[in-house]
């Protein structure tokens, strides 16, 4: 009898004996996480931080050079999970508001961080709104739980690490020479995302096309008020090699938007018009796809549900971000193997990142092997 055969028989007989006692014992599971001490409790900490932008960032409705964020940590059994709320002022949240919300979050009443569904549902119920502040807790809790399990979230969710998309690189509304310069600086990226919605739209696209023929996606940020004008623009953009149009019209103009989507030669995506899970069903028939952002939808847990629901409704999915450190960008990136498009350039737009995590390598979202959301402090 050769060695393999003997080993096989020995194993089989052991399993057969064991299975008399327990039919599941042949499954050799890894050891579940067991807290070493009793009465362990989670501790939440938070502090404000200001992101410095590399360029003045202009969209249809505003311009700015900094982004206020709130950094969070949840500590449990000597392990620390990191989170972040990014709060561009036009979205209505602030460091003061986030601090007031987080002061009401009492994680010490939970003795098991794995009960994420309960914990995050309770936190969502503390107050309406505050999606970024809620995301700051959600991300830190996911990071903590992933670290306790010693697994990255793409593994926990069952996604393929290397199936990540290219990320687009965002070019804000600007003067012709600046747009040309930014397009040249974006040489590494395979897809450009262009902000439109002012009277310079055609100049923006023609300027970029004078430099490169790579695919362009556009984000109008609700800037076109007239549906016939929007349809004409989309036909023009299609001829210029644009691949989809994000939030072309104001989110309130739902009937106009549905009219436009029905006729549009390019897919339409809802961003401002699709904030949370409950909005996905309403977006069906209005947009072809949704833009999921952790800061809109309260974090990774709800983002994962939105992705699942959008797929069930046969809608396209893109994954977006605010200007954020590599903390929130890395958190979002664990969903990216399952999306059609990613716009995860938020950490590339700032000069004072605090973490090392998911990177953009030759334009592609590239996940780390680290557990949790996969970051470390730098």
Binding site for Mg ion (CB under 5 A): 219, 246, 271
* Cβ at position 16, least distance to Mg ion in Å: 59
**Considering beta carbons, is residue 174 or 271 the nearer one to Mg ion?**
271
**Considering beta carbons, is residue 248 or 363 the nearer one to Mg ion?**
248
Supply 339's token pair: 């999306």
* Cβ at position 238, least distance to Mg ion in Å: 19
**Considering beta carbons, is residue 292 or 307 the nearer one to Mg ion?**
292
Sign of CA dihedral 220, 320, 70, 120: positive
Which residue is nearest to Mg ion, using beta carbons? 271
Question: Phi, psi (5° rounding) for residue 18?
Answer: -65, -35
* Cβ at position 74, least distance to Mg ion in Å: 29
DSSP element (H, E) containing 290:
strand 289-292
CB 358 within 8 A of CB 367: yes
**Considering beta carbons, is residue 136 or 218 the nearer one to Mg ion?**
218
**Considering beta carbons, is residue 91 or 203 the nearer one to Mg ion?**
91
Sign of CA dihedral 173, 175, 180, 181: negative
* Cβ at position 323, least distance to Mg ion in Å: 13
* Cβ at position 192, least distance to Mg ion in Å: 14
* Cβ at position 92, least distance to Mg ion in Å: 16
- CA distances 28 to 15, 18, 32, 77, 162, Å, are 11, 12, 12, 26, 27
Distance from C-alpha of 298 to C-alpha of 148, rounded to nearest angstrom: 22
- Planar angle of CA 278, 284, 286, nearest 5 degrees: 115
**Considering beta carbons, is residue 91 or 231 the nearer one to Mg ion?**
91
């Amino acid at each position: 009898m050769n060695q393999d055969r003997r080993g096989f028989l020995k194993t089989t007989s052991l399993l057969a004996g064991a299975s008399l006692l327990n039919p599941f014992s042949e499954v050799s599971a890894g050891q579940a996480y067991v807290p070493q001490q009793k009465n362990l409790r989670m501790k939440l900490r938070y502090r404000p931080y200001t992101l410095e932008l590399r360029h003045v960032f202009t969209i249809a409705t505003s311009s700015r050079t900094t982004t206020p964020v709130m950094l969070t940590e949840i500590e449990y059994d000597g392990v620390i999970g990191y989170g972040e709320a990014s709060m561009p002022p036009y979205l209505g949240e602030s460091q003061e508001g986030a601090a007031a919300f987080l002061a009401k979050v009492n994680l010490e009443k939970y003795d098991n961080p794995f009960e994420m569904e309960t914990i995050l549902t309770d936190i969502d119920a503390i107050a309406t709104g505050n999606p970024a502040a809620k995301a700051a807790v959600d991300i830190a809790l996911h990071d903590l739980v992933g670290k306790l399990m010693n697994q990255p979230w793409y593994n926990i969710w069952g996604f393929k690490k290397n199936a990540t998309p290219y990320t687009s690189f965002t070019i804000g509304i600007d003067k012709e020479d600046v747009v040309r310069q930014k397009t040249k600086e974006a040489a590494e990226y395979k897809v450009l995302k262009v902000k439109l919605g002012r009277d310079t739209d055609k100049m923006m696209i023609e300027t970029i096309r004078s430099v490169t023929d790579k695919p362009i996606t556009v984000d109008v940020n609700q800037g076109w008020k007239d549906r016939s004008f929007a349809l004409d623009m989309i036909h023009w953009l299609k001829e210029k090699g644009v691949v989809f149009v994000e939030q072309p019209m104001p989110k309130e103009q739902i009937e106009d938007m549905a009219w436009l989507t029905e006729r549009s030669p390019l897919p339409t995506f809802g961003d401002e018009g699709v904030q949370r899970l409950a909005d996905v069903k309403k977006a069906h028939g209005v947009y072809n796809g949704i833009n999921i952002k952790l800061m809109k939808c309260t974090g990774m847990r709800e983002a994962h549900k939105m992705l699942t629901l959008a797929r069930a409704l046969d809608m396209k999915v893109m994954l977006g971000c605010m200007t954020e450190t590599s903390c929130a960008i890395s958190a979002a990136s664990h969903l990216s193997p399952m999306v059609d498009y990613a716009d995860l350039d938020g950490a590339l737009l700032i000069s004072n990142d605090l973490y090392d995590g998911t990177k953009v390598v030759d334009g592609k979202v590239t996940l780390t092997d680290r557990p949790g959301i996969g970051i470390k402090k730098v």
